[in-house]
Structure 1
Amino acid sequence: MKEFIFNCTFVFQIFVLIITLYYLILSLFGIYKKKDDGAKNCAPKKTFALLVAAHNEEVVIEKIIESLKDIEYPKDMYDIYVIADNCTDKTASIARSCGVNVCERKVPDKRGKGYALEWMFNKIFKMDKTYDAVGIFDADNLVSKNFLNEMNYKLTQGYKVVQGYIDSKNPDDSWITESYSISFWTVNRLFQLGRSNLGLSNQIGGTGFCVETSILKKLGWGVTCLTEDLEFTSKLVLNGYKVGWAHNAIVYDEKPLTLKQSWNQRKRWMQGFTDVASRFFFKLLKKSIISRSLTTFDCALYTIQPFITLLMGITAIITLLQNSNKNGLNIFVINSLFTTDFWKTIWQLFSIAQFLFTPFVMLLEKKLSKSMFYVFGLYSLNVIILSHIFDSPTFSQMIISNIIYLLAFVVAIGVIGKKKSLKLFIWYLLYGIYTLTWIPITIQGILDKNNKEWSHTKHIRQIGIQDVE
């Protein structure tokens, strides 16, 4: 029985390790960012219909309209449309007072962004005025002035769909908004840019993207699930198209303030992911094998993100169980391969690099100062320092010593007197808790995948584009 447990956990851990290495290699390609000034030298050629999907967004609707009007692109080459979807507040009247096109939709039994967009696309197709592409935004967004120039450049390169950089407009509001922001910054740099550098298809992020109308007419929208962006991405890849990436076209998004709001939103994402995976994973996997397409395989792997999250969570739990039991549980763990002093040192260095990887990405994205990066670097040395204090520490000794080490750093930063640095340091450590919450959220999402009731996230932050650029 002991041998059976060891062999099973060996196969499981190696399988998860291979998936982890795949994403690690993919992320390394995102570190490099070439300088591309092509958008500045590309003459405006594409015309755009900019669509803002809004449901009871009277607090924030005016700010996104202001930012869209301020875009540095010929004004006769783009129009703004606000979709007031089943609104019961002043969203429509405020949008009209801003001088943009407002289309009110009243279909209570079909609520949600996917339905609203499909309804609006059909209206655009019937208009006398034609557009080369449509841009999709949420009502809480703010859009950078160069957005359409960047999109125009990418579309003229041959892409039919282009995703922009989704940033945060309120990272300093709470530890939850900071965690969200860190997550988006790392995904944008490591995985979106990484895929772009490798020539793979990027993933549509739900907002801040443009689609050529020709593709919408050819393939149809037809995606009305809880994660319509993932569904449309899968549909595009299955039909041989790639989503382009515009790293400099920035859309600022309002992140949820509380853990409860965040939990509900991420649960909805996982419900949608599970739904899409059940319908598209095997189709994508089959096509990737037949056509020998890494692009299609990568998309297939992305659709099963909830299950990969669970696998990694299980790996962490069984590793913790093995390491915390004095006599061991005959569970294979990766660090058991590093038993000599040389390999222990290599493992320690890897642990330090792993901890500093995200701060390094934040440094690259200019979201973290060099001095703060050095603080994280000093803190990461606890792996080496504590190993010299305790030769073979028990689980309780590891926990206590790490807490003491952490408190010493908190006190040191507090004595220096930099409250902002202290807050950032603590919030970054809390990012680990935010990451762990993905496990129960994912389980809930998988179990509730058939519940397709759309839930609205309330937006309250009246921030202008001038406050974030």
Structure 2
Amino acid sequence: MAAHNEEMVIGPLLENLKQLDYPKDLYDVYIICDNCTDKTSQVAASYGVSAMERFDDKRKGKGFAVEWMLEHLWKRSRQVDAVIVFDADNLVSKNFLIEMNKKLLEGHRVIQSYFETKNPYDSWVTLSYAITYWFINRMWQQARHNWGMASTLAGTGMCIEAKLLKEMGWNSTSLTEDVEFTARCIGRGIYPTWASNAIVYDEKPITLASSVRQRLRWMRGHTDCARKYMKPLILKSLQTRKFAQFDAAMYLFQPIRFLFVAAVWVMSSLQLATPLYTQFDLLKMIPDWAWIGLNIVLFLQFPLVMLLERRPWKAYLGLILFPIFQFTWFPITLIGILTSKNKTWNHTKHTRAIKIEDLAG
């Protein structure tokens, strides 16, 4: 776990990891205390785990911290079969290592777990995050897994074979190291798989302002990775005629997808809610019912997923403000594309020490 000033939240995770249903002598826990100015290292050490302190004012961010830790890990006398990356604010299901071990024994080299929101009911923003990830888990990760395509890494709850890491190196230090490592794996013909029964719980920002900062970093990193890896993946997919590689290239196209949805909303508004269509006949080339139907389909997929995922009825209240959350993606995406050369890492502050027992209740 890479941790920057996480003394408030790291304790519950470390306690959680001590209670996993797995032989305790078969896994080690390392905390990368990355440029910490608080008591993160002392808290980590009090739980009997390895607290590794790192100070670097130039190479900041999780990607650099993980790379630094791996270099130290390979030098240790006790070598490992796989590495799992978590964030300091996470919690995990007790069967997590059992499920990852199953996948490794099946021959998979890169595995992503089910991504759950730890604090869905803290605010309308966190509930919007939860709805988004319920959709991603069901309609993106599970669907792609069912079709034999590559899953995408989520930055946390991901398991990577140690031998593979030594072969290709980490070398993923962009603002979205998970997107970058996914692209590099698929470029080598290694397809990450999906472990739906292993769950990682991730804390989400409570306020819209902090959410915007986090998602802007994601879009900048995603755009940067698309610039580096999208063209090579498309060319390789044409050479190998493997749809999975083309599909991975389309994942890097994600920021443009948001802008496409924005265009649908704008065109719908121009035709249905304003008199502009009387001035521009071109807008009427698509009938009103088609715009209405398209928007209904785009929205109804979310409550459909919630039904399939058997979410509690109070979660459906989040659908009231969810369109606002979705709409904020559009300026964030546009700004992210235009400022993708900004590599500044913005830390998301976490303050709630939620325990795994609180989630079970």
Place the TM-score, normalised by the shorter chain, in its bin. Answer: over 0.9
Query: Once the two structures are superposed, what CA deviation does each residue of 1:375-429 show, in whole Å capped at 9, x if it has no partner?
Result: xxxxxxxxxxxxxxxxxxxxxxxxxxxxxxxxxxxxxxxxxxxxxx4xx555312
Give matches, 1:24-43, under 5 Å. Answer: none
Q: CA deviation at 1:353?
A: 5.5
Query: Once the two structures are superposed, what CA deviation does each residue of 1:227-259 show, in whole Å capped at 9, x if it has no partner?
Result: 000000000000000001001100000000000
CA distance in 1 between partners of 2:135 and 2:27 (Å): 31
Query: Once the two structures are superposed, what CA deviation does each residue of 1:40-73 show, in whole Å capped at 9, x if it has no partner?
Result: xxxxxxxxxxxx1100000001011011111100
1:64 aligned residue: 13
Give matches, 1:203-218, under 5 Å. Answer: 203-218=152-167
2:311 aligned residue: 367
2:211 aligned residue: 262
CA distance in 1 between partners of 2:51 and 2:212 (Å): 32
2:54 aligned residue: 105
CA distance in 2 between partners of 1:279 and 1:86 (Å): 28
Q: CA deviation at 1:141?
A: 0.1
Work out whether residues 71 and 148 of structure 1, in 8 Å CA contact, stay in contact via their aligned partners in 2.
yes
CA distance in 2 between partners of 1:454 and 1:239 (Å): 28
What secondary structure does 1:135 align onto?
A: strand
1:331 aligned residue: 282
CA distance in 1 between partners of 2:165 and 2:343 (Å): 24
- The one of 69, 76, 95 aligned to 2:25: 76
Q: Give 1:439's aligned amino acid.
A: F
CA distance in 1 between partners of 2:58 and 2:124 (Å): 36
Work out whether residues 149 and 244 of structure 2, in 8 Å CA contact, stay in contact via their aligned partners in 1.
yes
1:288 aligned residue: 237
CA distance in 2 between partners of 1:438 and 1:174 (Å): 18
- The one of 231, 246, 255 aligned to 2:180: 231
Query: Once the two structures are superposed, what CA deviation does each residue of 1:103-149 show, in whole Å capped at 9, x if it has no partner?
Result: 11111211100000000011111110010000000000001100001
- The one of 326, 334, 339 aligned to 1:448: 339
Q: Give 2:319's aligned amino acid.
A: Y
Where do 5+ consecutive residues of structure 2 fail to align? none
CA distance in 1 between partners of 2:254 and 2:70 (Å): 29
Q: CA deviation at 1:299?
A: 0.7
Q: CA deviation at 1:334?
A: 7.6
- CA separation of 1:90 and 1:354: change in aligned 2, threshold 3 A: same
- CA separation of 1:307 and 1:69: change in aligned 2, threshold 3 A: same
What secondary structure does 1:242 align onto?
A: coil
Q: What is the TM-score of this pair, normalised by structure 1?
A: 0.74
Give matches, 1:292-371, under 5 Å. Answer: 292-323=241-272, 324-325=274-275, 327=278, 329-332=280-283, 335-336=286-287, 354-369=298-313
CA distance in 2 between partners of 1:277 and 1:253 (Å): 25
Q: CA deviation at 1:352?
A: 5.4
- CA separation of 1:353 and 1:222: change in aligned 2, threshold 3 A: closer
1:466 aligns with 2:360: no
Work out whether residues 322 and 330 of structure 1, in 8 Å CA contact, stay in contact via their aligned partners in 2.
no
Q: CA deviation at 1:354?
A: 4.9
CA distance in 2 between partners of 1:329 and 1:130 (Å): 67
RMSD after superposition: 1.7
Query: Once the two structures are superposed, what CA deviation does each residue of 1:359-385 show, in whole Å capped at 9, x if it has no partner?
Result: 12112212234xxxxxxxxxxxxxxxx
Q: Give 1:327's aligned amino acid.
A: T
Work out whether residues 5 and 36 of structure 2, in 8 Å CA contact, stay in contact via their aligned partners in 1.
yes
Q: Give 1:271's aligned amino acid.
A: R
Work out whether residues 113 and 157 of structure 2, in 8 Å CA contact, stay in contact via their aligned partners in 1.
yes
Q: Give 2:348's aligned amino acid.
A: T
1:251 aligned residue: 200
Work out whether residues 67 and 465 of structure 1, in 8 Å CA contact, stay in contact via their aligned partners in 2.
yes
1:373 aligned residue: none
